[in-house]
Structure 1
């Protein structure tokens, strides 16, 4: 893994970014993590930072085709592929966070020219890792059901691609030493560790001679990983976990049980879930926020379900109070625009979108003078349905709210 400077060091215009973030959060019911009225009243607020975290990044062939089309328009990218325009809509949120966490689900190719493969054993263009970096991500979890699609070689190629792009990672490893080294980032002077685990690997088994290749979920393994991170100096530990049933917006019994065991038996400060490809609720268990499923960050399933185009970026505000960390949770509904397939005459419905694009729903509705009536209706549905799902385990009572409200 590359050890990178803190986000404060990397961003020279810290004051400007702070001002922009303050403006972004203005009007929200809960105050920001620092300089808020609550902090003044409490008188004991210490260090603070923000975290943005999103769901699955899974590059299907249609997205690669879109990146090729966009490269012709932008004149940028590598080997004729530019993924930046596809994901640009979420950059204003991701780039404002002090720490941004992605989930990289597939295997990356060793070459920007391929070969590439889709379901069931993914090999995707490594150019997507550059886009992940460009929109502001700092670190990615890599333990997923697809981690072992192409064995140890696939793991190595994926981590090499992330390294080359300058994105830290955890969850899979190229050596025993790498697997044992905690992924710790310096975030505004706070040492934040990211852990990553997955429940299974699509029928593949972890090689007996390489048990460190990818992290398989168990409460014992999670506890041990947290202990290593704490021993290495971590002030905060965030768990990324690949779990649940695909395309099910309700967390299953295994998720609910494990979430409670994590909250009660570990000191993990935040749990970020993915794998379902649809949004699942958030819930606060004791002092621990659990995002059961953040849906897709970017994907293009063969048969889009309506729910699979909807996702959410979790926004978490950490503030140190009296030696403990207070976490406030917010959310940013997202949507993936997918062009319709043409009919037998090559025509598409009037007003249809022309390109695959990841959309910040509230921002698009607020700023999108050029939106069609169809887009406005679809984005509003995505926001309202995402909100309803996120709140259906009572998270609203614990302060969960949108980062920016529906216009």
Structure 2
């Protein structure tokens, strides 16, 4: 699914005529034209989970931009990641919550009902489709699932992991990306104790190896050449992958032909690892969320950048990463004041980009960005992924 806004590859191709083999910036090179091997890129990021304070920010931004829908504009909050997401041939989000009605009322934890207006902002930064199987999928039963998928449809975002009908649940999501048929699967470890609506066992996918393996075979039978699995698993707020994650990852890598595994749920970044040739991102942290008690880790996330190339009949995946950071304004003190140089708005940033904006960033903020980048990097690499080629899409500026 190639779009005019994603035509950087054409610029690279032109450059190749003049500078044989020269890469075209951090987003990749030449579509491997020298060998004729098909190539495409995937950008995938962590949990999108809209807490009440983010909705308050969207209300504030709508007043400033005049572009709000029912008085909410999530665009400015999300804009910082657009330079990365919009350059991928396929952008995959993880949409964790249930949406409510455009005018509200809205709810946060434990049973989310978030503004559907967030979906247009997700589309606006360049995402093409989303996984929707999570522990919050059925927070509001079948009605909530329908509202959520209707909102994604309206925004132009494809989706997989939950379904409005049994027929929809059985149809694999397959997207044509630069001539390659790419399937996405989505599964979740539980539903936070909510009972699956009677007679609708298909409403959202629960993690089960046999079910995942069968879904991959179904997608292949429907024509998929590449299969990507999004899986909501692990333990919240734990930077290390849990035993059940690593065990399932090994089964997937050894017993299926799934090409890439993208993990969610922990709300903090977890490692990446290459197992028998299959890249597994155990947890990409939060894309955007505002927990009641931000831990420092919950503001840090990562965009996984994957370059897939078909060579000798199989798909080779090269993995890179883009650390992100959510700026969180401090709460006012007892007198209702905040420090003069404190950030004023919630803003999602690409860390390397923010560091390059040197003249506008205080030394304190630069130090915080550096911590976010280096901690994310250290976590991603702590299962040996560096030896398998994992590296940043862009290095941290000095």
Instruction: Give yes or no for contact 1:33–1:49 (8 Å, CA) kept in 2.
Output: no
Structure 1: which 5+ residue stretches go unaligned?
1-5
Task: Give the secondary structure class of the aligned counterpart of 2:150.
Answer: helix
1:229 pairs, out of 219, 222, 226, with 219
* Residue of structure 2 equivalent to 1:62: 53
Instruction: Give yes or no for contact 2:6–2:89 (8 Å, CA) kept in 1.
Output: no
Q: 1:85 to 1:260 in 2, by over 3 A?
A: same
Once the 2 structures are TM-superposed, how far is the Cα of residue 14 of structure 1 from its aligned partner? 6.2
CA-to-aligned-CA distance 1:158-189 (integer Å, 9 cap, x gap): 00000000000000000010000000101000
1:399 pairs, out of 384, 389, 394, with 389
Once the 2 structures are TM-superposed, how far is the Cα of residue 395 of structure 1 from its aligned partner? 0.0
1:212 pairs, out of 186, 202, 207, with 202
Instruction: Give yes or no for contact 2:12–2:24 (8 Å, CA) kept in 1.
Output: no
Once the 2 structures are TM-superposed, how far is the Cα of residue 15 of structure 1 from its aligned partner? 2.6
Question: Given the alignment of the two structures, is residue 34 of structure 1 paired with residue 31 of structure 2, yes or no?
Answer: yes
CA-to-aligned-CA distance 1:201-250 (integer Å, 9 cap, x gap): 00013234001100000001001111111011000000000000000000
Separation (CA, whole Å) in 1 of partners of 2:110 and 2:94: 18
Structure 2: which 5+ residue stretches go unaligned?
16-21
Separation (CA, whole Å) in 1 of partners of 2:152 and 2:160: 11
Instruction: Give yes or no for contact 1:52–1:315 (8 Å, CA) kept in 2.
Output: yes
CA-to-aligned-CA distance 1:99-142 (integer Å, 9 cap, x gap): 00000000011x21012111100000000000011100000000
Task: Give the secondary structure class of the aligned counterpart of 1:289.
Answer: strand
1:138 pairs, out of 128, 145, 158, with 128
Instruction: Give yes or no for contact 1:49–1:317 (8 Å, CA) kept in 2.
Output: yes
Question: Given the alignment of the two structures, is residue 295 of structure 1 paired with residue 299 of structure 2, yes or no?
Answer: no
Superposition map of 1:59-98 within 5 A = 59-98=50-89
* Residue of structure 1 equivalent to 2:26: 25
Instruction: Give yes or no for contact 1:8–1:187 (8 Å, CA) kept in 2.
Output: no
* Residue of structure 1 equivalent to 2:18: none
Q: Segments of 4+ in structure 1 off by > 6 A?
A: 17-21
Instruction: Give yes or no for contact 1:351–1:374 (8 Å, CA) kept in 2.
Output: no
CA-to-aligned-CA distance 1:308-361 (integer Å, 9 cap, x gap): 000000000000100000000000000000000011112212321110000000
* Residue of structure 2 equivalent to 1:274: 264
* Residue of structure 1 equivalent to 2:174: 184
Task: Give the secondary structure class of the aligned counterpart of 2:176.
Answer: strand
* Residue of structure 2 equivalent to 1:384: 374
Separation (CA, whole Å) in 2 of partners of 1:17 and 1:113: 45
Task: Give the secondary structure class of the aligned counterpart of 1:317.
Answer: strand
1:310 pairs, out of 275, 295, 300, with 300
Question: Given the alignment of the two structures, is residue 246 of structure 1 paired with residue 236 of structure 2, yes or no?
Answer: yes
Once the 2 structures are TM-superposed, how far is the Cα of residue 148 of structure 1 from its aligned partner? 0.9
2:319 pairs, out of 329, 332, 338, with 329
Once the 2 structures are TM-superposed, how far is the Cα of residue 154 of structure 1 from its aligned partner? 0.5
Once the 2 structures are TM-superposed, how far is the Cα of residue 10 of structure 1 from its aligned partner? 7.5
Once the 2 structures are TM-superposed, how far is the Cα of residue 17 of structure 1 from its aligned partner? 8.4
Separation (CA, whole Å) in 1 of partners of 2:12 and 2:159: 25
Once the 2 structures are TM-superposed, how far is the Cα of residue 373 of structure 1 from its aligned partner? 1.4
Once the 2 structures are TM-superposed, how far is the Cα of residue 16 of structure 1 from its aligned partner? 4.8
Instruction: Give yes or no for contact 1:49–1:98 (8 Å, CA) kept in 2.
Output: yes
Task: Give the secondary structure class of the aligned counterpart of 2:360.
Answer: coil
Separation (CA, whole Å) in 2 of partners of 1:217 and 1:13: 37
Aligned length: 391
* Residue of structure 2 equivalent to 1:3: none
Question: Which deviates more from structure 2 when the two are superposed, residues 207-216 or residues 269-278?
Answer: 207-216
* Residue of structure 2 equivalent to 1:369: 359
Instruction: Give yes or no for contact 2:12–2:29 (8 Å, CA) kept in 1.
Output: no
Task: Give the secondary structure class of the aligned counterpart of 2:369.
Answer: helix
Once the 2 structures are TM-superposed, how far is the Cα of residue 32 of structure 1 from its aligned partner? 4.2
Q: 1:33 to 1:303 in 2, by over 3 A?
A: farther
Separation (CA, whole Å) in 1 of partners of 2:281 and 2:7: 32
CA RMSD of aligned residues (A): 1.8
Separation (CA, whole Å) in 2 of partners of 1:133 and 1:79: 18
Instruction: Give yes or no for contact 1:122–1:146 (8 Å, CA) kept in 2.
Output: yes
Once the 2 structures are TM-superposed, how far is the Cα of residue 372 of structure 1 from its aligned partner? 1.3
Instruction: Give yes or no for contact 1:105–1:142 (8 Å, CA) kept in 2.
Output: yes
